[in-house]
Structure 1
Amino acid sequence: FIFLSADICRVCRSEGTPEKPLYHPCVCTGSIKFIHQECLVQWLKHSRKEYCELCKHRFAFTPIYSPDMPSRLPIQDIFAGLVTSIGTAIRYWFHYTLVAFAWLGVVPLTACRIYKCLFTGSVSSLLTLPLDILSTENLLADCLQGCFVVTCTLCAFISLVWLREQIVHGGAPQWLEQNQQQPLNGVGQQNEAQAVVNGGVENAVLDQPANPAAENVVVGENPEIQEEQVDEEEEDNEDEEDAVVEDAADANNGAQDDMNWNALEWDRAAEELTWERMLGLDGSLVFLEHVFWVVSLNTLFILVFAFCPYHIGHFSIVGLGFEEYVQASHFEGLITTIVGYVLLAVTLIVCHGLAALVKFQRSRRLLGVCYIVVKVSLLVVVEIGVFPLICGWWLDICSLEMFDATLKDRELSFQSAPGTTMFLHWLVGMVYVFYFASFILLLREVLRPGVLWFLRNLNDPDFNPVQEMIHLPIYRHLRRFILSVIVFGSIVLLMLWLPIRIIKYLLPNFLPYNVMLYSDAPVSELSLELLLLQVVLPALLEQGHTRQWLKGLVRAWTVTAGYLLDLHSYLLGDQEENENNANQQPNNQHARNNNAIPVVGEGLHAAHQAILQQGGPVGFQPYRRPLKFPLRIFLLIVFMCITLLIASLICLTLPVFAGRWLMSFWTGTAKIHELYTAACGLYVCWLTIRAVTVLVAWMPQGRRVIFQKVKEWSLMIMKTLIVAMLLAGVVPLLLGLLFELVIVAPLRVPLDQTPLFYPWQDWALGVLHAKIIAAITLMGPQWWLKTVIEQVYANGIRNIDLHFIIRKLAAPVISVLLLSLCVPYIIASGVVPLLGVTAEMQNLVQRRIYPFLLMVVVLMGILSFQVRQFKRLYEHIKNDKYLVGQRLVNYERKSGKQGTSTTPPQSSQE
């Protein structure tokens, strides 16, 4: 049987009728070719797209106007539409002005005035607070300060919410659970039983002597881990059994209270409350309520998190007589607030213990949560603020001789600008800590898992520093902080202070480095800074080879040290040991069942790992332990220190020496900032090492391949040099010169003086302007320049297309810049003198023609934009008054087809 199938709609699967014809608006064929216009419009509203999701063809609609529409709109219609549009624009302008005034004026201003009122410390300031809020004095400064206050309060609010999520999802400490009533353990305060557990286990693990002659037993998990959990608690469990039953009932009630909120209602409210609605950008006035709540939240957080701790600390410092010392630090407010938080934490500990004694479970839990908040806040300040600051100051102190400075100079700089000095030292310390952590991560990639058992693994997915801050007691964090200060400080001594002393002894004339802010060199300091920031540093930082080189050096050093000291198995591990590990598992299981404390081999480090990470060792691999193992470890540490010392000596001398030698050909005997010489020397060293590594990689391939590679690279380098000369030389020079003629010279040089142009400075500024223009172009809409730049970036250096770059990018850009420079000059110097004007007028035209033509171009652009806007307004008015509908347009091929299908065809092809 042969069936003739009729055309049907791809959405509703119905046939076409005279009232609802079928259209084929896109390239799709077969059973999805046709569709009803109503079905398509409904689907477009649902999918929020204007094109077919299969063939990507954009649907087209033709407007249907009323038959009585005139050929041109009457003036009154255009005027009425224009007045309506202006009224709408004015309404939106007033609304957005109110929004901006509320969020950028009222909120920060009230926050700043309330903050000042609370910290004034007088009753009169509270009484005059409404008048102070309405005062017009120092509006801009108070708004800026208020923005900082609002930012701090919002960060505090977000941190509180995030900390609550950490406690809810990560679990609260055991001493906080309501079904266990325990007196809170303070800072290192424990009872005798807990001390026995801590002392027994830690001494057995930390102080156990090594036994070189014993057989190496691999223990995968420490049997004392469960006992060590007692050491992780901040309180003891000494209550009676009847209190436990009452606490369990309270815990159930508390859990029931936590579950009273409806998640669906909160999700629905979150869906309804968008950023536009919350900020008032949707046109409604609901945002005024949000402004009120933000002001109230700011006041509450200022009162709770700033006012109360500050005054607690202030009264305590005044009472103890330390007020003069705190004022001499230039950070009286910060130190006083931190002291207040510390006293508040101690008070919360005492109150928590009292609430536990009198069995006030809700008060006990609330005080415990408040203590966790204060504890985590103080630990964050210590970890992120105090520790990098200590590292920064220690780095500065150890490097004083390198810059020919003294402690008296640092004291004077601190007295003159304490805030800037502390920030710079904190920034240096943060950079040091970051790169040290990055180097530790690189070491973990090379060394055997388990070697760095004493350091936390930042790549561990289970590692959560906030959870550690919540669960671990204070004395554990204090111990970690002291050990970290000792380790980081010792490394600074080894890699900075000691090399400086050696350099001063061996090369007396090499130090100090010249780091003065001025320079007597014939080149501009700004040009050197731009060259460093735009050329040298991106070339060094954007290369991934540096990390691979460093990793290769670390691996080579590890292999060398391992074979010299017979520690290859300990440092890198052995495949044979991994294969035999399965045979040792029964013995390990037997050892775990017998609760044996490991005293030899990797069991010692497994125990350390268990203590530091609250669990079994992660990713631990066994190793073969040689004879005289402690002596070999000591020699390994000595070898490592010597290697770090030599590496530091090379890094402190070789780049600077090479940079000074190269810069001497350019600047002569003039002194230049050592940052530029170091960067230049480092760049040359990087190029040399890169070339050597490439040649070494090519050598096994034979002489013919090497010649071919050298030929290819030489051709690529020549192309790159040509492109660099055009795009990094000619274009920035023309761009900087044009900027100088249009903006700088008319503003800085009077008409009776002759402007002087410095090509080097113009080129340096042109490099900066070119990068900014390229970044804006890549972020903007799609047009020919963006397409060409993206294509050049996609090709890269190795696939560089010289013809494409010159024809599509360099030639058009250089032509536009040359026309922008030459046309005004020809008009001012060639055409204007032919008109017979005076010399003063010629000078005026020559000096002002560039900004004048810029204004003409800008006005033409604005005029063109307004013409397009008027056309859009004209179409909008016509559509509002005379548009009666839209008809879907069929997709027409080159051969042409029927516009619409009022009756279904007899067949359609699949």
Structure 2
Amino acid sequence: METENKEAVPTEAKDMKNEDVDICRICQSPEEPNNPLRHPCACRGSLKYVHTDCIFLWINRRRSKHCEICKRSYSIVPVYSDNAPEKLPCQELLMSLLLRAFRFMTLILPWLLAIAFHSHCMFLLLADMETEFHESKRVFKLSCFFLGLLYTVEIVTEITFIVVLRVVYEELVRTEHELLRTVHLIANGLRHKGVTRVLIVLWKYMRILCDWWHDQLLQLPFFHDMFMRGPLALAFVPRNTQLHEFGAIRRFLFFLDDNTLAVLAINIFWSFLDYMLPYLIGQAVFVLLRCFPPHGWVLENISEITVGHIVLLSVWVAYLKSVFTLIRNPTRTRWFSLSVKDALILCFKMILLPWMLGCWIDFCTFPLTGATVSQRLEVVSDYPLMAAKNWCIGIGYLLVALSCMKLIQEIVQKRAFWYLLDVTGPNYKITKLHLRSLLFAFAFHGAVVVIVFHFPIKTITLINRSFFPLKFGVYKDEFMLGLLAAYICCPRRLANTVKQSIKPVVHKWVVAVSSCLRLSDFLLGVPQRRDGVNHNVRLAFGIAEGCMVSFYGSQRDTTCEEDTHDQRDERFMLRIGMLLFLAALSMFLVSTTFMALPVLVGRAFFQSISFYMLSFGLEHDDICAFWIGLCIIRKIYKITCFVYDHIVTRRVDLLLKHAMKCMQNVLLFSIWIFVVPGLLGLLINLMIIIPSQVPLDESPVYNFLHDWLIGVYVLHICIALTMFTSVTCFATVAWREKLQRIRSVGINHLPFTWLIRDVIGSAINTLLTALCVPYVLVNSLLPVLGFSREANLTVQRFVWPVLLALIVIWFSAKLVRNLIIYIHQVEFDNRYKVGERLVDFIEDL
């Protein structure tokens, strides 16, 4: 009977599909009496209907209120109880506001007290510097306040980091039994020491505070999503900390609630151990040093806090030395020596080798910036922390190499990588020094850097000696925001673009070359399947071993007689060598093209608009030239492929429709990016900049480029805040509906006349009205009323600031009204809301 029941479920579902019965796309069940089917989005077919309970469960888990397929937002309306009034009485609303204000003050008051405490500590610590601010003590006190605020933020960051490390440590101790034995060994060594009792007491209170902070972090949506979706999701569980474990301290401070006590305890505990105690120890050391000269250099160059930290570190090292007496206990000697050896190996793998690789990359790319070895050594000698830049370069290169290695191993069979180290094996240990693999990886990466960077740079220099060095950062301060966007944001977009197209290109190259060299049987085969190893673990192991590793098992289970027969072939090694030579040649050609062609196209673009750039005193930047050239080349390539495909398939009529649509989009984009920001920037210039910076007896000078840039920034910031956030004060209801329609439907699916008339035309009419109406009124009415020319110029100068003040007052009143409505709605929902109802999707005509 059980077997028959089990087989009845899929049969019933199959029968429903055959009978075209509407079913839920989540649970695959038909409509129920108390759970009807809805169609909340634009999906069709079997994805159209969904149960209300299923979609609400999906929204709660995914925390997203839009369809992941059609990207339409779900329409959800609240359901209230039958006795709910139309609105709350004024008295109830005021009581709710007072209660909310009281709860907010109880939450914020401890942090204000903590900031005040830290500011007072900074004021006491920096009291010697107060004489330098004798002209303005307010500046000194304000500086102490900001230092206290920054130190509070630092405490919050550090205790969050400690909470995460503690969870990771507990998870490692639970899974790694060897680490657990090491922890027990350390605990046994510390148990019989007198100072340990003090440390145990301090750690007890620190553990309680960390558990309390852990529970507070889980209540925040950002940290909850980050922790629950991470690799340690099961470890981040609520601790339900009870602060009565503080004992006498909690009973003494009975008048403080748990939140206030925990916040004050965290800040006082942390600031005392991190700041006040080292400062007091440093002052005591300085008092002793003054009694024993010479002491001038120490007092002038080292602060009290630094001396205190050095003393505490020395005491801690001496205490550990007394705990672990290496001569008396051979077990501890062996454990200590193994720990030191593992730490040195990890430092060699994770720090030294990436730094050496970064130095080699920096040396091979000297012509890009025109620097020399002596100049780089001089910079490092003056600023030693700049040496960390090479480590970052090496780590970045290894991450890229690791992605490429994983891509190649997904295409090529495992037997081609028999010589690589297998990091997925059960016997692999990251603390073991695989010297042969590391030396091979370093030699391979060194050769690749020469092929990809050094040879292309030399080739380009031989062809055009004036191509290098590249020009960086030659724009003025007004354009630094756009320059930073080109430097920081564009590499990520480039990586996403290249990542999507590199896999098919590499796959086709491997197939073509291996077929020409008769290596298809050896290289190509069934694509590799991903194993169950954690991605983060694989990433760390791959970087530690120089990325020249195997991710899909060893080659032992793939060896067969055909491989032995191929390797006995006299020309087999010659064909493998030819394959590697063609790979190196391809990398060289691609790197040379990718390095030179976008920069040349971008420079040509800048040269075509050089007249406008010189009129504003601007020069071209090669980073911006590279991105502009890359975008131009990419767009030309896409258009060429699109036109070629339509011509080959004889769909010229569809191609003409696309061409007309592109022309319409270019027209819309041109008006939106040039006309609207220009008018908006001119209006901002008349309202704010000219009245505040230009005297009345001088005539203002208008700079269209500056006005246009200001308009571009302000327009797109307002649109981004309106479309992607809950901020509604920058647009009216009509404009929010228009922007929401454009976002959900798309420009290509909206009528061209509606976009011109209701979107762009409406914006231009509003801006022209704000610009022209005050000017016409002032120049037509004031001369008729008999005002002088000076009064006319004064009123003309300040009519737009008055208009701005009226707009600000109107926006403030609107913001206050919306805030009151929002608070009323929140309180109304808390009292009378009983559920939510999903509304069916209505097609946008």
Which of the five TM-score ranges fits, normalised by the shorter chain? 0.5 to 0.7
Partner of 2:263: 291
Select the residue among 766, 770, 780 that pairs with 2:726: 780
1:504 aligns with 2:452: no
Q: Is the 8 A contact 1:751 1:844 kept in 2?
A: yes
Give the AA of the match of 1:634. G
1:748 aligns with 2:696: no
Change (3 A) 1:662 1:94: closer
C-alpha distance in structure 1 between counterparts of 2:258 and 2:269, whole Å: 17
Give the AA of the match of 1:855. A
User: C-alpha offsets along residues 848-900 of structure 1, whole Å, 9 cap, x if unaligned?
Assistant: 222222222222343455578889999999x9xxxxx9999xx9xxxxxxxxx
Kindly state the Cα deviation for residue 60 of structure 1 after the two structures are TM-superposed.
Answer: 6.3
Partner of 2:232: none
Change (3 A) 1:863 1:784: closer
Q: Is the 8 A contact 1:788 1:809 kept in 2?
A: yes
**SS in structure 2 opposite 1:475?**
coil
1:847 aligns with 2:797: yes
Q: Is the 8 A contact 1:61 1:887 kept in 2?
A: no
Structure index of larger Rg: 1
Q: Is the 8 A contact 2:402 2:547 kept in 1?
A: no
Partner of 1:59: 80
Q: Equivalences for 1:39-188 in 2 at 5 Å?
A: 58-59=79-80, 95=106, 98-106=109-117, 138-141=144-147, 143-144=149-150, 147-148=153-154, 150-169=156-175, 171-172=177-178, 176=182
Q: Is the 8 A contact 2:118 2:148 kept in 1?
A: no
Give the AA of the match of 2:658. W
Partner of 2:636: 688
Select the residue among 472, 481, 501 that pairs with 1:549: 501
**SS in structure 2 opposite 1:573?**
coil
Partner of 1:319: none
Partner of 2:368: 402
Q: Is the 8 A contact 1:448 1:573 kept in 2?
A: yes
Q: Is the 8 A contact 1:735 1:817 kept in 2?
A: yes
C-alpha distance in structure 2 between counterparts of 1:842 and 1:568, whole Å: 86
**SS in structure 2 opposite 1:58?**
strand
User: C-alpha offsets along residues 1-43 of structure 1, whole Å, 9 cap, x if unaligned?
Assistant: xxxxxxxxxxxxxxxxxxxxxxxxxxx999999xxxxxxxxxx
Partner of 1:582: none
Partner of 1:644: 587
C-alpha distance in structure 2 between counterparts of 1:494 and 1:572, whole Å: 26
Change (3 A) 1:364 1:422: closer
Partner of 1:530: 482
Kindly state the Cα deviation for residue 514 of structure 1 after the two structures are TM-superposed.
Answer: 2.5
Partner of 1:491: 448
Number of aligned positions between the proteins: 648
Q: Is the 8 A contact 1:736 1:766 kept in 2?
A: yes
Give the AA of the match of 2:153. C
Partner of 1:801: 751
C-alpha distance in structure 2 between counterparts of 1:611 and 1:29, whole Å: 55
Kindly state the Cα deviation for residue 146 of structure 1 after the two structures are TM-superposed.
Answer: 5.7
Change (3 A) 1:645 1:405: same
Q: Is the 8 A contact 2:661 2:748 kept in 1?
A: yes
Partner of 1:208: none
Q: Equivalences for 1:541-580 in 2 at 5 Å?
A: 541=493, 546-573=498-525
**SS in structure 2 opposite 1:733?**
helix
Change (3 A) 1:448 1:108: farther
Partner of 2:704: 759
Q: Equivalences for 1:260-275 in 2 at 5 Å?
A: none
C-alpha distance in structure 2 between counterparts of 1:805 and 1:534, whole Å: 30
Partner of 1:895: none
Q: Is the 8 A contact 2:367 2:469 kept in 1?
A: yes
User: C-alpha offsets along residues 277-331 of structure 1, whole Å, 9 cap, x if unaligned?
Assistant: 99x9xx973223212442366369859xx99xx9xxxxxxxxxxxxx9xxx9xxx
Q: Equivalences for 1:62-461 in 2 at 5 Å?
A: 95=106, 98-106=109-117, 138-141=144-147, 143-144=149-150, 147-148=153-154, 150-169=156-175, 171-172=177-178, 176=182, 285-295=257-267, 298=270, 302=274, 351=324, 357=330, 390-414=356-380, 419=385, 421=386, 428-449=393-414, 451-452=416-417
The answer for unaligned runs of 5 or more in structure 2 is 1-30, 37-58, 61-73, 128-139, 186-210, 222-239, 244-254, 283-296, 530-545, 838-845
C-alpha distance in structure 1 between counterparts of 2:392 and 2:693, whole Å: 37
Give the AA of the match of 1:473. T
C-alpha distance in structure 2 between counterparts of 1:873 and 1:151, whole Å: 32
**SS in structure 1 opposite 2:433?**
helix
Q: Is the 8 A contact 1:536 1:679 kept in 2?
A: no
C-alpha distance in structure 2 between counterparts of 1:394 and 1:349, whole Å: 44
Greater shift, 709-718 or 733-742, is seen at 733-742
The answer for unaligned runs of 5 or more in structure 1 is 1-27, 34-46, 66-72, 118-133, 180-265, 311-323, 579-607, 880-884, 892-910
Change (3 A) 1:734 1:619: farther
Q: Could you tell me the TM-score, scaled by structure 2's length?
A: 0.61
Change (3 A) 1:834 1:498: same
Partner of 2:668: 723
Q: Is the 8 A contact 2:115 2:152 kept in 1?
A: no
1:734 aligns with 2:679: yes
Change (3 A) 1:566 1:518: same
C-alpha distance in structure 1 between counterparts of 2:558 and 2:505, whole Å: 24
Partner of 1:862: 812
Change (3 A) 1:774 1:637: same
Kindly state the Cα deviation for residue 833 of structure 1 after the two structures are TM-superposed.
Answer: 3.7
C-alpha distance in structure 2 between counterparts of 1:676 and 1:610, whole Å: 34
Kindly state the Cα deviation for residue 776 of structure 1 after the two structures are TM-superposed.
Answer: 0.7
Greater shift, 857-866 or 734-743, is seen at 857-866
Give the AA of the match of 1:812. S
C-alpha distance in structure 2 between counterparts of 1:836 and 1:380, whole Å: 86
C-alpha distance in structure 1 between counterparts of 2:498 and 2:821, whole Å: 57
Q: Is the 8 A contact 1:453 1:609 kept in 2?
A: no
**RMSD value over aligned CA atoms?**
6.1
Kindly state the Cα deviation for residue 502 of structure 1 after the two structures are TM-superposed.
Answer: 2.3
1:768 aligns with 2:713: yes
Q: Is the 8 A contact 1:401 1:500 kept in 2?
A: yes
User: C-alpha offsets along residues 479-537 of structure 1, whole Å, 9 cap, x if unaligned?
Assistant: 7766655444432222112222222223323333223x336xxxx78559739958997
Partner of 1:657: 600
Kindly state the Cα deviation for residue 150 of structure 1 after the two structures are TM-superposed.
Answer: 5.0
C-alpha distance in structure 2 between counterparts of 1:526 and 1:708, whole Å: 47
Kindly state the Cα deviation for residue 714 of structure 1 after the two structures are TM-superposed.
Answer: 0.3
Change (3 A) 1:642 1:612: closer
Greater shift, 423-432 or 789-798, is seen at 423-432
1:823 aligns with 2:773: yes
Kindly state the Cα deviation for residue 809 of structure 1 after the two structures are TM-superposed.
Answer: 2.5
User: C-alpha offsets along residues 778-824 of structure 1, whole Å, 9 cap, x if unaligned?
Assistant: 21268443332233233345535323323442233333222222233
Give the AA of the match of 2:636. T
Select the residue among 563, 574, 577 that pairs with 1:634: 577
Kindly state the Cα deviation for residue 724 of structure 1 after the two structures are TM-superposed.
Answer: 0.5
Bigger RCO of structures 1 and 2 (CA < 8 A, at least 6 apart): 1
Kindly state the Cα deviation for residue 717 of structure 1 after the two structures are TM-superposed.
Answer: 0.5
Change (3 A) 1:386 1:536: closer
User: C-alpha offsets along residues 106-137 of structure 1, whole Å, 9 cap, x if unaligned?
Assistant: 46986x899999xxxxxxxxxxxxxxxx9997
C-alpha distance in structure 2 between counterparts of 1:454 and 1:734, whole Å: 66
Kindly state the Cα deviation for residue 574 of structure 1 after the two structures are TM-superposed.
Answer: 7.0
C-alpha distance in structure 2 between counterparts of 1:677 and 1:609, whole Å: 33
Q: Is the 8 A contact 2:456 2:592 kept in 1?
A: yes
Kindly state the Cα deviation for residue 711 of structure 1 after the two structures are TM-superposed.
Answer: 0.6
Partner of 1:518: 474
